Structure formats: structure tokens, C-alpha cells
Amino acid sequence: MRRHETLFAGAIFAIVAISGQAAAQVTSATVNGGRVEGLASSGIGVFKGIPFSAPPVGDKRWKMPQPVVPWTGVKKVDAFAPGCMQQGLLPGPGPAGRHSEDCLYLNVWTPATSASEKLPVMVWIYGGGFALGETSTPLYDGANIAKKGVVLVSVAYRVGPFGFLAHPELSKESRKGSGSYGIGDQIAGLRWVKANIAQFGGDPGNVTIFGESAGGISVSMLAASPAAKGLFQKAISESGGSFAPLRTADEGLPSVPTLKTAEAVGQRFFAAIGAADLKAARALPAEKILAGPGTAMVNGQFWPVADGEIIVGDQYELYSQGKFNDTPILIGTNADEGRLFLALAGPRGGGRGGDSVAAFTQQARVGFGDKADVIIAAYTSTPDDAAKAIKNLFRDGAFAWPTWAWAGLQAKKGKGKVYVYHFENRGSSQPDGATHADEIAYVFGNLDAPLLGPPPVRTAADRTLSEQFMSYWTNFAKTGDPNGPALPVWPAFTTAKPQVMNLAPAKALDEHPNLRQIKALDEYFEWRRARAKSGQ
């Protein structure tokens, strides 16, 4: 063969090989509604903006998600859809119309080369205090997790008043209660996964739900929701759980309100935005709703509601009675969760000075009633200012205590194994350890992506730690056990030996580092639950 013929043949072979490699990824599928076409990128099939519900607009505002509207032809799904209406703080793709009521879309990253592979599926639920959050945040890009041999799905859900407003007229309309549409969106997304994920090489019988903060709390709620039964087989919660008694007033620390409590909030909200009734409120522009009181994450007033359909009661009591979706769980918290919230709250979050502990004491007496002294003793024995007491109380009350309660109840009442982590990761820039959401970059392998500011300078040790996180999380999704080759052994948590895995440095701990404070909160929540039962 002549030299130019050899070169020509080689070029043809290279073109065919490259084309074959691109075609090898799953990049098209037929799903509920019609045909979709994504794209291939670095060995991963990527689909962005697949509709899983009808747009919740007009008379569908404040209704549970409705069936998707079919389309004709092939829908290109290669760009994120707008996020749900919110006063957004998180970085995103930044196009015009970034937020919209028409927002119920999901995204898929798959390493599959055929629809027959039956890979484990991981479904991500974002956080944001139930007031903000969107799938387009760069930190949540699923490519690196997908490269570990799983199909990654991220699901949008309504937030703020659009997702969690209850009102007597809405309850009457539905005949089932109101106020948990955002969790209903997550369930609709999981139903879509069960019906369609096999088209992307995923196994609908091996689905792991995972989320952080409000996303982790959502995972907890799904674990106790009859409406989510059978839609997932494993659960991961990062800094989230919903085990406090139902809220009936302004009790200390966030928790699920009763339907009556939430409906009263909804009535006041309608009055504040000038809506005489439900028809008038549905006719208002979305921007008018968003401008109403209590819609921002800081001091927000909208939270999933015990509506009787999605959230059917006090989750602690439901678990105690064995009424939950029993799966293996992997759950945990960070060492300094409260630092982020203290920064977001600004000067109102707690001050410094000689009377700071006295100020904290006064606030505790307002929020914690007869158990205030127990809380004060647990959090002000050594700190030199209120800021540390406030941030540690928020860390434990909002995140560490619900996680601890969940672990104990699952270990006692369930068959699925429990794995609990504590992410310390102390350093010169964070002497008290990792703050809220710090672990997300490691979990997704997106160490250079921003969240609420530019990412810190990363080291080789950070990248090694990220590989460890991704391996633990994806091993768990595959088998229900995070352990695997070349990983420090992570023991299961049991009632007889409640061990916790500190992920940085990697070491199994015989007890949780915050256990003294957590036990004080045990006493507080037990008191609140007893009061609720007695009707006080």
C-alpha cells in the first residue's frame, strides 16, 4: 500500500473510531411524553431539562404535579431548564429567565452504552432551606459520580410559597390537605425514574435517593411517606432529618408544622399580598407571590406541611411504630454546620461582648420553654461568646440531633443497615471544622465549582478525599454498604455499638463528638412531644 493510501486509511479508521465512541453513549431515549435527545461528553451521556410534569402554572399553581404534556418529534435536552421561582443565591447558568414557575424538569448523566446495562441509580435532591435551590448549580454536575458506574439524576422541585403554602381553600379543593407540593414534585420525579430510567441504562429496582440540607430533610420525609413507598431502595442524607415534633407555634428550631398551623400562615400570606381568596391569589403574577413576606431562606416561613397525604404525622412517632420505608441508610453531619447560618444571619445571629451569653440565655428561655436550662447548660459551659453557642445549637438542633434520632430509630426498628458519618476536616481556615454544605464538592467530585462564593484552594489531599467520598457514596448505591477496596473500614451503626465514621480524618469513632449536646436536645424534644400529646 502506498504511503498516502496508508495515511488515508488511518484517517478513515480514526474517524470511524471517534464516531463509534461518541455513538456508544446512550444519548437518546423515549420517555413519558415523547422522544428526547441529549449529548455525549467525556464518556457520559448527558440529558438536561427533561420535563417530568406539566408546568405548575395557572390553575395548577398550588396543586400536586400533573401528568407531563406530550410533545411531537424529538426534544433536544442539552441545556438546563429554568430553576423554580425563588430569591436565588446559588450560582447557576445565568440565562435570561433563569427562574420560572414552569420548572419541573430533571437531568440525567449516564455512563451506559446501552439501555440493557441496569446500572445503579442515584437521585439528587438539592438543599436551600425549602426556599431556594436548583439543579443547574455547577456544584451538582453529575458527570464525575456517573463515571463511578451509576446513573445520576437530579430533580427540580418547587420551593418557598410555590412549593409549601397551605391554606384552608387549598385543603378543601384537594380534600387531602395542602402545603407539601415540593415533596410531591420529588415523588413525581421518582415515579418518572421508575418508569423511564431503564431507557438510560439504569436499574429502576436499585434507586438511591440522596440530598443535602433541605434535600437531606426531604430524603428523611420520603423515607416515612406512604406516597413514596417502593420508589427507592436506599437513602443518603447529608445534614438533614425530620424527627422533631410537629410545630404548633414558634417553638425553637425548624420543624414540620401541623396543617392548622400552616393554613394560618397561608391566610396571613394571602392578606399580605392582597389576595382576597384562592382565585385571586392564582391570578397574581409569580413575582407578586415571591415579593410576599417570609419567602427568603433567612427567616423564611414556608416548610413542608403535615398535610395527611405526603407527610402523615410526627416522623419520630411513625418510626417508633415501624411505619416507614425500610431501606439501608447512610447519614451524617459536619463539625461546624452552624457557621454558615451565623454568617447568613449577619449581626442578628449573635453578638460578641460581655453580655453575649446572657443574651443567648434570654433567647433560649423564649424558644425552649421549661427545658431552657438544660439547653443553656449544654451550650454555655465554656464558650466565650454567644456566637459559638448559637451556631452549635443550630448545628445540633437542625442537623446532628435529627440524624442521631434517625440512626437510632432505623437501627432499632428497621432491617436496613445504618452508616453514620461525621465530617470534621479541621484546618487553619476552619479551626472548628467543616461547615454546612462543605461535603457536597467532595461527594460530586466538583472541588473547583462555586456554591456561595469562590471555592477554596484545593490540594492533592482534597482530591484524594473526594475520591474517597465518591467511592463510599457509589458503593453504597450499588450494594447498600459503603465499604470497598482501599477504603478505611466504615462500621455499621447499631444500638449496641453506635459507631460514627469521621471522614476527615478517616477514623471510626465510638461515639458522636457532639453527644452531650445531642442528649440535651433529646430531653427537649421528648418534652415537646409529651406536651403535644397532652394537647398543651
pLDDT at 450 over 90: no
pLDDT at 442 over 90: yes
- Predicted TM-score (pTM) of the model is 0.93
Residue tagged active-site, from 436, 439, 466, 512: 436
The answer to whether 337 is a known catalytic residue is yes
Of 367-371, 504-508, 522-526, the poorest mean pLDDT is in: 367-371
pLDDT at 384 over 80: no
Which tens digits make up the pLDDT trace of 220-266? 999 999 999 999 999 999 999 999 999 988 776 778 999 999 999 99
Which tens digits make up the pLDDT trace of 132-166? 999 999 999 999 999 999 999 999 999 999 999 99
pLDDT for the residue 346: 62
The answer to whether 263 is a known catalytic residue is no
- Listed residue (161, 128, 150) closest to 209, CA to CA: 150
Please give the residue that has the higher pLDDT: either 501 or 361: 501
pLDDT for the residue 357: 78
- DSSP letter at 461? H
pLDDT at 11 over 70: no
Mean pLDDT on 59-75:
98
pLDDT for the residue 143: 98
By CB atoms closer than 10 A (0-12, 13-18, 19+), residue 32 is middle
Q: Which three cell numbers stand for residue 355?
A: 453580655
pLDDT at 407 over 90: yes
Q: Which residues, at least 6 apart from 94, have a Cβ–Cβ distance to it below 8 Å? A: none
pLDDT at 60 over 70: yes
Please give the residue that has the higher pLDDT: either 311 or 254: 311
Q: Which three cell numbers stand for residue 269?
A: 400570606
pLDDT at 204 over 60: yes
Of 44-48, 90-94, 224-228, 461-465, the poorest mean pLDDT is in: 90-94
Residue tagged active-site, from 213, 220, 242, 466: 213
pLDDT for the residue 380: 84
Question: Rounded to an integer, what distance in angstroms lies between the CA atom of residue 494 and that of residue 148?
Answer: 29
Residue tagged active-site, from 337, 356, 439, 466: 337
Cα-to-chain-centroid distance, residue 511: 26
The H-or-E segment that residue 206 falls in is strand 202-212
Q: How confident is the model at residue 471 (pLDDT cuts 50, 70, 90)?
A: very high
CATH number of 27-429+449-534: 3.40.50.1820
The answer to whether 213 is a known catalytic residue is yes
The residue ranges of every structural domain in the chain are 27-429+449-534
pLDDT at 353 over 60: no
